Amino acid sequence: MKPFWQTKKLHEMSHTEWESLCDGCGKCCLNKLIDDDTEALHFTDICCELLNTDTGQCSNYPQRHTFVPECVTITADNLATLYYLPSSCAYRRLAEGRGLADWHPLLNNGDRSAMVAAGISVVGRVERENQLQTDLEDRIVTWPLRDCD
């Protein structure tokens, strides 16, 4: 029997199935900048204040909108408009017909260590925005754009 992500379209998935697709990389929790002249998107190594930098997980996921009102909820309906999702994102990968990457926790019994080892996770690479000591422009990084299969 094939797993649900191979048999269902994104909009057909249950809430539990949808949530399990998130690999927990934390890249969507990074502050991003858009160049006013070129409209180019730039990731920084500065994350939301709720992100646990040791695990890459939100420290208060159920109530995150209370503390961070601008936190985006990724849905099948808004996925196509979320241009800033990295190419490694499972939601984006499935929407593009690419399937899950071999490091994805669903393919590794829920273990996130393969994702961290592949350099996909923010674990150990970021600081929280409430600890920022420099200008955000000085914290632009390219590693979140890396897509390992």
Task: Dump pLDDT digits (tens) for 81-126.
Answer: 999 999 999 999 999 999 999 999 999 999 999 999 998 999 999 9
Q: What integer pLDDT is reported at residue 90 of this predicted model?
A: 96
Q: What integer pLDDT is reported at residue 145 of this predicted model?
A: 85
Asked if the model's pLDDT at residue 148 lies above 70, the reply is: no
Contact 71, 84 (CB under 8 A): no
pLDDT band at 48 (very low <50, low <70, confident <90, very high): very high
SS (H, E, C) 91-134: HHHHHCCCCCCCCCHHHCCCCCHHHHHCCCCCCCCCEEHHHCCC
